[in-house]
Structure 1
Amino acid sequence: METYRERLWPAPWVAVVALLAIPASLLTFAPVSVVAGAVVGTALAGGVILAAVLSAPTIIVAEGVLRAGSARVPLSLVGGTTAARGADARRMRGPELDARAFLVLRPDIDAVLRVDLTDPDDPAPYWVLSTRRPDDLAAAIRGAQSA
């Protein structure tokens, strides 16, 4: 039974930024063809938006397993969790980050959840996951572990 699911969709501003490819292409191709510039710009913007949507990872807590993107870890190997937002999240993603940590990060999502692992054979000491609902994800992990 699934207790938590979150798809890390890109923020709307990603599409706005991608759409800037249209005027940039129009300016670039204007000496050759305005139509070519519009076609190339539209194709570039559409490609960036499509890539951002298709690459959006999913975080799932179900059947005793935490899945983040293509990675999986049994909840029996999960220790504590730490939710962070703002400056704490930036430190967790940056200066305090262990190079061995497994990451599922989206630059447009501020909050993160650190998931500590207890498996001595796992080269990653913990996971850092972008999430819009870190407290809900932490509660789902704790709830599934106690079930």
Structure 2
Amino acid sequence: MQPNAPQYTERLTAPRSWWLIAALVGVACALMLLPLGGLPLLAGLIGGTAAAAMVVSSYGSVRIRVVAGTLVAGDARIPVTALGEPEVLDAEEARAWRLHKADPRAFMLLRSYIPTAVRVAITDPDDPTPYAYISTRDPQALKAALGKSAPPAIEERGPGQSPAPTA
């Protein structure tokens, strides 16, 4: 694997039902222009569908990546060294962290149509953000990628102490 190759990548695409709704928005725009004739009707259909499709596409273009020791979630770039242990959240626990357990200071990459998530503490003392909540369809893979990307733990030793022998 190349050093800058992503260890994990996911795109949080919008569900198919949203694309159907985008098409129905185009039909609604066309029906509003029906009294004006056939050409405005066609323009409303094409324009309304295109506008709604752009909104759905932009909302569903968010990416999550773990690359070169950095968690990239949407616009956020968090070094893995500033992260604690990731916690996989099932649908019920993820819902609780979106509602009554949520902290307003937290970074939340939230997509309501994705039931599972990963919550990872931010351990940087200079950052007021307590944790990152990231919606993901494959929380186990994201947790594994964050674990692989973390630097090895350094044993704390006093001055002049040698590392413990390994058997």
Q: Is TM more than 0.5 here?
A: yes
| Worse-matched range after superposition: 82-91 or 125-134 | 82-91
For residue 92 of structure 1, the aligned residue among 97, 100, 104 is 97
Deviation readout 1:49-95 (Å, 9 max, x if unpaired): 22332341111111111111111111111102122232221111122
- What secondary structure is seen at the aligned counterpart in 2 of 1:99? coil
Match of 1:81 in 2: 86
**Structure 2: distance between partners of 1:46 and 1:107:** 23
- Structure 1 gaps of 5+ residues are none
Larger relative contact order (C-alpha < 8 A, sep ≥ 6)? 1
1:21–1:42 CA contact under 8 A, matched in 2: no
**Structure 2: distance between partners of 1:34 and 1:111:** 46
CA RMSD of aligned residues (A): 1.7
Deviation readout 1:83-134 (Å, 9 max, x if unpaired): 2232221111122110001111222222111111101111211111111111
* AA at the equivalent of 1:138: K
* AA at the equivalent of 2:86: T
Aligned residues: 147
Question: How has the CA–CA distance of structure 1 residues 39 and 99 changed in structure 2, closer, same or farther, with 3 Å as cutoff?
Answer: same
**Structure 2: distance between partners of 1:109 and 1:38:** 35
1:146 positional shift: 4.6
Please say if 1:20 is aligned against 2:24: yes
* AA at the equivalent of 1:30: L
Please say if 1:109 is aligned against 2:114: yes
Residues 1-147 of structure 1: pairs in structure 2 closer than 5 A: 1=3, 2-55=6-59, 56-146=61-151
TM-score by length of 2: 0.80
- Structure 2 gaps of 5+ residues are 153-167
Which protein is bigger by CA-based radius of gyration?
2
**Structure 2: distance between partners of 1:49 and 1:122:** 37
TM-score by length of 1: 0.89
| Worse-matched range after superposition: 83-92 or 60-69 | 83-92
- State percent identity of aligned pairs: 31
- Runs of 4 or more above 4 Å deviation: none
Deviation readout 1:19-68 (Å, 9 max, x if unpaired): 11133123322222343233223322222222332341111111111111
